[in-house]
Amino acid sequence: MFNPVIIAVIVMMVLCLLKINILIAIMISGIVGGLIGGLGLQNTISILISGMGGNAETALSYILLGTLAAAITSTSIVELLAVKLQKWLKNKKALFVLIIAFIGCFSQNAIPVHIAYIPILIPPLLVVMNKMKLDRRAMACGLTFSVKWPYVAFPAGFGLIFHGIISDSMTQNGLQFNKMDVWKAMALPGAGMILGLFIAVFFSYRKPREYKTVEADIKAENEVKNIKFTSREWFTLLAIAAAFVTQILSGSMPLGGLVGILILLVTRVIKVKDADQTMAEGIKLMGFIAFVMLVAAGFAEVIKATKAVDTLVVSSANLIGGSKLLGAIIMLLIGLGITMGIGTSFGTIPVIATIYVPLGMKLGFSPMAIACLLGTAGALGDAGSPASDSTLGPTAGLNADGQHDHIWDTCVPTFLHYNIPLMIFATIAAMFL
């Protein structure tokens, strides 16, 4: 009960539930864990700081992708897409949601703008949704799918970062695993998310729902009608393609982001005099998540330094009784709780890997099964968490006219339709991988 690992995680979850900033919560819980583990204050802080380097590449990826995203959103590509969708998809509710979800997936992989596309694309489409009498809870599920499923299932863009974190965390905890194999481990949980999307669109929220068309909706719709495709948009597409190809060929997300930014600078989509401002916008967009990743890596190093993980693993294995099924369920539930509190799947992985990797090996799970459990435990809670980008982004777009509640219209629907299938499918996968 007084294991430093357990206490540190409990402290973190309590602080997060009390709405304490996640950076402060992770640092405090890391210090508490180190002190209880007998490391001393100075040694704990030293390990915490030195351990941050473990996620340096991930943090750099976020900063560069944030800059690229800021540059992309300064063009009219997303607005032009909104215009086309208005023309193509009138009165086709289910298809409308699925197309938005599919297009949104590119925001994580091919065009790494993350959630930045949602507040740009969705408000002009609210008038169309209102005419369709589309239940916005279905669209919330579609948008959350678009920013969550790609990194869970596909090793490019943010997916490459996520899979790299899983691979690195496993390696750092004594189990070698290639990041380009992570998608195989996550294939079945990813299929569960697709099933959840279909249930939301075709069953849960298929009935018509009335919304008022307010002045803000009409204004947003009119603002995008006169936008034209110029050379800036063509050069932006070139930068996007180059960044995508580079990261696939090199396996390096920072290099891909850098190539994309350089092309935007050379073609003057980003003017040299505006480069500092664009970089600042990128840091504003993604910088916080980057720092969360750094501090999470430091926390993991402190936990490992206490040498309390081995004790916890042995006692947990004895408590579970060697049952792989029970072990998988408990590991997934713990991951759900931590991610719900932290609000970021990416920051959860280094925290839980210190426990999950040795526990998984103790229970006899294969490396592929451990990768599946670790990745899914991190992904659980991203959908449904009030503090997650995966819910805040959709709400920012759908509530532009004040008719969409963050908790009941985004968090609850996405929690039910994605976390439940993820739990079920990951448990099944862990038993057979």
Which residues fall within 8 angstroms of residue 342, CB to CB, at 6 or more apart? 12, 16, 22, 25, 26, 292, 348, 351, 387
Which residues of 139-239 form beta strands (DSSP E)? none
User: If you average pLDDT over residues 70-91, what whole number do you get?
Assistant: 66
179 alpha carbon, distance to own chain's centre: 17
Residue 368 has pLDDT above 90, yes or no: yes
d(CA 340, CA 196): 19
More reliable by pLDDT, 366 or 55: 366
d(CA 114, CA 291): 17
d(CA 265, CA 68): 11
What domain range includes position 73?
4-432
- The per-residue pLDDT for 425 is 93
Which residues fall within 8 angstroms of residue 45, CB to CB, at 6 or more apart? 31
Q: Please check whether residue 310 is in contact with residue 85, taking contact to mean a CB–CB distance below 8 angstroms.
A: no
Q: What is the largest CA-CA distance in the chain?
A: 67
3-state percent helix, strand, coil for the chain, nearest multiple of 5: 80, 0, 20
pLDDT in tens, 10-43: 787 677 667 677 678 778 888 888 888 888 888 8
User: If you average pLDDT over residues 49-62, what whole number do you get?
Assistant: 71
Q: Please check whether residue 179 is in contact with residue 167, taking contact to mean a CB–CB distance below 8 angstroms.
A: yes
- The per-residue pLDDT for 192 is 92
- CA proximity to 183, closest of 166, 198, 201: 166
Residue 216 has pLDDT above 60, yes or no: no
- The alpha carbons of the chain give a radius of gyration, in whole angstroms, of 22
Residue written as token pair 């298809």: 95
Per-residue three-class SS string for 136-156: HHHHHHHHHHHHHHHHHHCCC
Confidence of residue 130 (pLDDT cuts 50, 70, 90): confident
- At 213, the amino acid letter reads T
User: If you average pLDDT over residues 415-430, what whole number do you get?
Assistant: 91
d(CA 244, CA 239): 9
Q: Please check whether residue 255 is in contact with residue 246, taking contact to mean a CB–CB distance below 8 angstroms.
A: yes
Which residues fall within 8 angstroms of residue 147, CB to CB, at 6 or more apart? 104, 107, 108, 114, 115, 118, 389, 390, 393
Torsion of CA 124, 127, 133, 139, to 10 degrees: 10
Domain count, the chain: 1
Element of type H or E holding 253:
helix 253-266
Backbone angles phi, psi at 324, to 5 degrees: -65, -40
Residue 199 has pLDDT above 90, yes or no: yes
Residue 176 has pLDDT above 80, yes or no: yes
pLDDT in tens, 305-362: 777 766 666 676 677 776 888 888 888 887 776 666 555 677 678 777 877 888 888 8
Q: Please check whether residue 115 is in contact with residue 289, taking contact to mean a CB–CB distance below 8 angstroms.
A: no
Q: Please check whether residue 383 is in contact with residue 144, taking contact to mean a CB–CB distance below 8 angstroms.
A: yes
User: If you average pLDDT over residues 74-96, what whole number do you get?
Assistant: 68
Residue 96 has pLDDT above 70, yes or no: yes
d(CA 52, CA 198): 40
> Given CA atoms 261, 265, 268, 271 in this order, what sign does their dihedral have?
positive
Q: Please check whether residue 12 is in contact with residue 341, taking contact to mean a CB–CB distance below 8 angstroms.
A: yes
Which residues fall within 8 angstroms of residue 71, CB to CB, at 6 or more apart? 236, 239, 261, 264, 269, 270, 278, 282
Q: Is 228 exposed, middle or buried (0-12, 13-18, 19+ CB in 10 A)?
A: exposed
Average pLDDT, the chain: 78
Residue 220 has pLDDT above 60, yes or no: no
Coil, helix or strand at residue 332: helix
